[in-house]
Structure 1
Amino acid sequence: MHRPRNAALVACAALLLTTVGCASKSETDSSTDGPVRLYGSDGNMINSFGDEFKDQSGLLAGMKGTTPLTPLSDDFKQRLRSVDPDLGDFVYSGESYDAVVISSLAAQLAGSTAPAEIAKYINGVTTGGERCDTVDSCLDLARAGRDIEYRGVSLKRGGFTDVGEPSTASYATLHFDSSDKLDDNKTEFVGAGDESTTSTKRAPNPRKGATGEEAGAPLKIGGLLPQTGDLALANPPLEAGAALAIREVNAAGGVLGDPVEWIPGDDGTNPDKAKQTVASHIRAGVHVIIGAGASGISRAVLPDVVAAGLILFSPCNTDAGLSTVDDKGLYFRTAPSDLLQGRALADVIMRDGPQEIVIVARKDSYGEGLQGNVRAELEKAGVTADHLKLITYEPPADAESSLDFTKGAEEIKEFGADAVLVIGFGESADVIKALSKAGVQLQH
């Protein structure tokens, strides 16, 4: 489980602030004294983020934001809690579950554990065949050599696009309450995407009958999930989803006649740590890697994964640029592109009618990518450059360090913001604390 970072540490990571795309406000403008609405995104709109505010209880009250999230059945939640009884969040649990299941079904259809062969079937598992929505039923069809169209927990409407990502998605608008926890009674769901972008390319015909050593069994799936680092607060539902999928695939008879093997691994929310884990998986003979947690980490390790001829399949990468990355057909994701989340977030913000908007983001492909997408959507909605300010920060070098956002908080106060969107992971708690310390009145 995630242990909250010690915000009282004296050692702080250096902060690099970059302000872009905003005209100077006139000298007659002054900072607003009214309350500022807080918004967040999938990296911090989770219950465990509230644990970062035990010393300032209630500071998150009223903060709202979006995350890719399909309405989850009580049955699925109960199954997850049979894996992790202390599970407090479910964000990306369905995507993690589906990534493992789709990989397993693709291997069964391919009749092989060779990653290059599995990759040929992954998109096809989600398109154009006989519809199935449980592990048991889908594996039975795959073993019989039947083409399938898997619809699981997160994948409900359209299948994968040609580049190996969902054509449609469901987003939830979430709200923190006065206990710094998400109020499920206020959660709203909205669909996004276009089913017409689902791939129409047919996978090779299923290969029936191959089992055991001749097929390369057992299928080995390795984890590359954020057990430590700034994204560790999001790890429990990711791990639970993957563990549940492995358990249910094996309970249904496994893949190619053998139980699937799960080899855990930490991405550390750190490129160096993630590369070490990938190297360990390569030595262990892993065929499919589930992860990484952060989009920037996947970008960092993808060349190593591709060079080894393995599959990288992330349940939570949302960087839109990953849709066009050079992956040799070996990168997939069950999380939707941030092009879709950008629209959802902009819509949530604009409903409140803000006048002066600041978007704060961690300086990496996830943060800057989503920041740019939200900015573009706000501009389409009529927000002009002089009413919009973008700030980025360098995340701390490690999870034991705090982020000094003092200068950024003062800039936001001087700008007169009445809406602040914070795009980040666990470290973004320091952004919100700095706003409060600077005297910015937060709307609760």
Structure 2
Amino acid sequence: MLVTRGPRAAILAAGAAFLLVTSACGTTDKPEDTATQQVRLYGTDGNMLNSFAGELKERADLVDGMKGTTPLTPLTDDFKDRLLAVDPKLADFLYAAEAYDAVMISALAAQLAGSTDPADIAKQIVGVTNNGQRCSDAETCLTLARDGQDVEYRGPSLTRAGFTDEGEPATASYATLHFDAQKINDAKTEFVGAGFETAASTKAPPKPKKQRGGKNDRSDGSPLILGGLLPKTGDLALANPPLAAGAALAVREINAAGGVLGEPMVWIDGDDGTSPTVAKATVASHIRNKVQVIIGAGGSGISSSVLPDVVAAGRILFSPSNTDSGLTQADDKGLYFRTAPPDSLQGRALADVILRDGPHKIVVVARKDSYGEGLQETVRVELERAGFGSDRVKLLTYEPPADGEGADGVDFVGTAKEIKSYAPEAVLVIGFAESAGLIRALDDADVAIRH
């Protein structure tokens, strides 16, 4: 979804080596010889959610046995409890920590800049996470920042190291997830680290400004206004609850600690619709409402579509869940940041999970957008490195559903027949809620899904 800019080859290669060593320590389960070839399903962060089973409706049990990966750091019970206090119905925590940290970093950057001007805030964002006095809660960090002291923020998603020069995490953590009884089995979740602390920026940001004036002194441009650009609707809506809860929790805790620049921080809600059209309208509204920092979008392709608008308006786009490696080269004028790690790392983790089960033929089906095709290509490269030639890996794509159509907007019948004809042992589905339609189509085509 759901990267970095600059010299990363050494970091990524080392990350790959780490994952390969990890996979070598595991066991390999060879496909069973059965009269009917069974297919094991694999997924990614866009569909490895408890809520995804509900997208299959009366056939929710088809997800049982499905495996996949997602960017995820082990979360403390305290943080989960605080999220549940915001949304008691929360069923998943995917990207909640990243959303929380994106808001927290934005607030600290504005406080250190002594200004709500987006250009000034942007210059502080990388520095907030590096080479200062370490802190991890809103009250402590804001107190230090108000006193004009450099801070080194560490939060629930940003635990090992800070941001690179390019405005992204230098290190990442991935979880391997398993569906059992129509939900993620936490007991089977494993975590794998990637990246290096040495990739974190060592550049000094502008000198922080000690807070001047008092409450209602708005010469610094306060209050700080953040606008949401999260997937309240559309194919990625199933991932919205944890994203929204993480952002809301951060706003709540920042304002409880005295706010930013002497004023409560303001949050204006907004939907990206998992749609460029909806997202662009929301961005335009935020710009009219003088939002300085936009938190989102949920999907990488949506951020790619709105980034030119955001940059042209001189605002900041800060995503908690964009993972498309292609955004590394985006012309963002230093105004785009993310707390999610790149798909270049997740592709290796995914390949590792699949290879542990020892399939001989693999199909990788992806949304035809920057997220899906980018991650698909990364997985293909990793499988090729493991000895899988083009005769053993089949790549398929599909057009994402049009606005408002949902899963019913994609006809997966032909895709399912093509997969059945290829007779793979593994099918990786890179998509959002609509990918439930492919799983149903496989079942309709009498493809035996291994549970």
The TM-score normalised by the length of structure 2 is: 0.90
In the alignment, structure 1 residue 223 sits paired with structure 2 residue 228: yes
Partner of 2:426: 419
Counterpart in the other structure of 2:8: none
- Report the Cα offset of residue 171 of structure 1: 0.6
**1:27 alignment counterpart:** none
Equivalent residue letter for 1:132: C
C-alpha distance in 2 between matches for 1:210 and 1:324: 38
1:161: which partner in 2? Answer: 164
Residue 63 of structure 1 aligns with which residue? Answer: 66
Instruction: Confirm or deny: 8 A CA contact 1:32 1:418 kept in the other structure.
Output: no
- SS state of the match for residue 355, structure 1? coil
1:210 CA displacement:
3.4
CA deviations over 1:180-232 (Å, ceiling 9, x no partner): 11111111111111222111111011011235311100000000000000000
From 320, 325, 335, the counterpart of 1:330? 335
- The separation in 2 between residues aligned to 1:270 and 1:57, in whole angstroms, is 26
Where in structure 1 are there 5+ consecutive unaligned residues? 1-30
Distance in 1 separating the partners of 2:289 and 2:68 = 40
Q: Does 1:236 align with 2:241?
A: yes
State the match for 2:309 in structure 1: 304
Give the secondary-structure state (helix, strand or coil) at the position aligned to 1:290.
strand
Paired letter, 1:338: D
Q: What SS is found at the alignment partner of 1:322?
A: helix
Residues 120-159 of structure 1 correspond to what in structure 2 (within 5 A)? Answer: 120-159=123-162
Is 1:192 matched up with 2:197?
no
In 1, the alpha carbon distance for the partners of 2:56 and 2:412 equals 16
**2:196 counterpart letter in structure 1:** D
Q: What is the identity, as a one-letter code, of the residue corresponding to 1:330?
A: L
Matches of 1:136 and 1:352 in 2, distance apart? 47
* Partners of 1:434 and 1:443 in 2: CA distance: 15
Q: Does 1:316 align with 2:303?
A: no
Distance 1:196 1:36 in 2: 41
Q: CA deviation at 1:131?
A: 1.0
What is the Cα deviation at residue 32 of structure 1? 8.7
Equivalent residue number for residue 44 of structure 1: 47
Query: 2:211 matched to which residue of 1?
Result: 209
Opposite residue 106 of structure 1, the aligned amino acid is A
Q: Aligned residues: percent identity?
A: 67
Partner in structure 1 of residue 371 of structure 2: 366
Contact 1:172–1:189 (8 Å) recurs in 2: yes
Alignment size in residue pairs: 413
Q: Does 1:284 align with 2:284?
A: no
Letter in 1 for 2:336: Y
1:221 and 1:287 in contact (8 A); partners too: yes
In 1, Cα distance between the equivalents of 2:131 and 2:389?
Answer: 44
The match for 2:381 is 376
State the one-letter code of the partner of 2:143: D
CA contact (8 A) 2:56 2:437 kept: no
Contact 2:235 2:433 in 1 (8 A): yes
**Does residue 1:295 correspond to 2:300, yes or no?**
yes
CA distance in structure 2 between the partners assigned to 1:400 and 1:183 by the alignment = 31
Contact map agreement 2:70 2:174 (CA 8 A) in 1: yes
Counterpart in the other structure of 1:272 = 277
Contact 1:36–1:443 (Cα < 8 Å) also in 2: yes
Counterpart residue number, 2:15: none
For residues 269 and 36 of structure 2, what CA distance do their matches in structure 1 show?
Answer: 50
Runs of 5+ consecutive residues of structure 2 not aligned to the other structure: 1-33
Between 417-426 and 48-57, report the one with greater CA deviation. 48-57
SS of match in other structure, 1:215? coil
Give CA deviations for 1:230-288 in whole Å, capped at 9, x if unaligned. 00000000000000000000000000000000000000000011000000000000000
Q: After superposing the two structures, state which structure 1 stretch, 287-296 or 393-402, moved more.
A: 393-402
Structure 1 residue 176, shift from structure 2 partner: 0.6
- TM-superposition CA deviations, 1:19-49 (whole Å, max 9, x none): xxxxxxxxxxxx9932111000000000111
Residue 406 of structure 1 is aligned with which of 403, 409, 413? Answer: 413
2:379 and 2:127 mapped to 1: Cα distance? Answer: 32
* RMSD, aligned CA: 1.1
What is the CA distance between 1:296 and its match in structure 2? 0.4
Is the 1:32–1:416 Cα contact (8 Å) retained in structure 2? no
| Cα deviation 1:329-365 (Å, max 9, x = unaligned) | 0000000000110111011011111100000000000
Task: Confirm or deny: 8 A CA contact 1:80 1:244 kept in the other structure.
Answer: yes
Secondary structure class of the residue paired with 2:428: strand
Indicate if the aligned counterparts of 1:32 and 1:417 stay in contact, CA closer than 8 A.
no
The residue number in structure 1 matching 2:122 is: 119
Shift of residue 400, structure 1, vs aligned partner:
3.3
* Contact 2:106–2:293 under 8 Å retained in 1: yes
Per-residue deviation, 1:54: 2.2
* Residues 410-437 of structure 1: per-residue CA shift (max 9 Å, x gap): 1111111100000000000001111111
Counterpart-to-counterpart distance in 1, 2:320 and 2:429: 22
- Matched residues in 2 for 1:354 and 1:135: separation? 47
Deviations 1:96-142 (A, max 9, x none): 00000000000000000000000000000011111111111111111
Kept after mapping to 1: 8 A contact 2:272/2:278: yes
Task: Give the TM-score normalised by structure 1.
Answer: 0.92
* In structure 2, C-alpha distance between the alignment counterparts of 1:397 and 1:264, rounded to whole Å: 23
Deviation at 1:57, TM superposition (A): 3.2
Q: Which amino acid counterpart does residue 130 of structure 2 have in structure 1?
A: T
Rounded to whole Å, the distance in 2 between the matches of 1:419 and 1:183 is 20
Deviations 1:134-186 (A, max 9, x none): 111111111111111101010001211111111111111001112x1111111
Aligned counterparts of 2:283 and 2:212: Cα–Cα separation in 1: 28
